Amino acid sequence: MNSINTAASSDPLTITQRTQIKRLPQRGNYDRALIHQILDEALICQVGFVVDGQPFVIPTAYGRVGDYLYIHGSPASRMLRTLKAGVEVCVTVTLLDGLVLARSAFHHSMNYRSVVIFGKATLVEAASEKLEALKAFTDHVMPGRWAEVRPPNPQELAGTLVLSLPLEEASAKVRTGPPKDDDADYALPVWAGELPLHQTTLQPIPDPQLRPDIELPASVAHYLRNRAPGTPAEETENNGG
């Protein structure tokens, strides 16, 4: 089985026939560090695979450690049982950064960062690697959360299937900037520009069964996914982020 390697290099990935960006290739990027950055910021991936000629695309959470992406779930999961058998898989992740509003309907677009990964998943069997992968899942969703909660017990660990997908055949695609209108349309009396989008959090809602003496933990109090660029950290914390 693969051992977890936390040292991820920043060299570009080898371009393959499957990962080469053919549509608007100038938006393609094969830099390992950028691919890792996008994966670390997103929360959900879409896992595509085929069973008996029927395609499926399943959304799921994930975690990354070094050059490996980890997904997990119940051993009864059809997706995990299929992937464990060594079928080809395509995993995608997308971050939507803004709406691009052009002067013509044709040139409307979106600013985004996306990653597509191809490969075959491998079953993680070593208990130590499974634990590190589960820690990666937990801290990916909420950095620092693993240290605040009870770790999985042996029964829970045995009842969790973990798969590893190497980040060897992957590419990123990114669009940034304003709309690109036809030259003749720039004189039109139509507003054009970008509408940035930002994922934010709201005030935490305690579990109704939470003991009243338990305070908001550091992982939640310092959660910064809702901090817009330029927002001081202390302002985010004061707003319950």
- In this predicted model, what pLDDT tens digit does every residue of 142-186 receive, in sequence order? 999 999 999 999 999 999 999 999 999 999 999 999 999 999 999
Q: CA 163, 5, 156 angle in degrees (round to 5)?
A: 40
Residue 226 is assigned to a structural domain of this protein: yes
Residue 161 sits in the same domain as residue 230: no
Residue 169 sits in the same domain as residue 207: no
How much is the pLDDT for 231? Answer: 47
Position 240 confidence tier, pLDDT thresholds 50, 70, 90: very low
Residue 55 is assigned to a structural domain of this protein: yes
Q: How many domains does the chain have?
A: 2
Q: In sequence order, which ranges of the chain are alpha helices (DSSP H)? A: 32-41, 78-84, 127-141, 154-158, 218-221, 233-238
State pLDDT tens for residues 59-101. 999 999 999 999 999 988 999 999 999 999 999 999 999 999 9
State pLDDT tens for residues 21-32. 888 888 989 999
State pLDDT tens for residues 192-237. 999 999 888 888 999 999 999 999 999 998 885 544 444 444 444 4
Residue 210, domain extent: 198-241
Residue 116 sits in the same domain as residue 208: no
Residue 110 sits in the same domain as residue 8: yes
Residue 139 sits in the same domain as residue 165: yes
CA–CA dist 67, 119 (Å, integer) = 13
Residue 119 sits in the same domain as residue 219: no
Residue 205 sits in the same domain as residue 111: no
For the domain that residue 159 is a member of, what is the CATH number?
A: 2.30.110.10
**Prediction pTM value:** 0.85
Residue 32 sits in the same domain as residue 113: yes
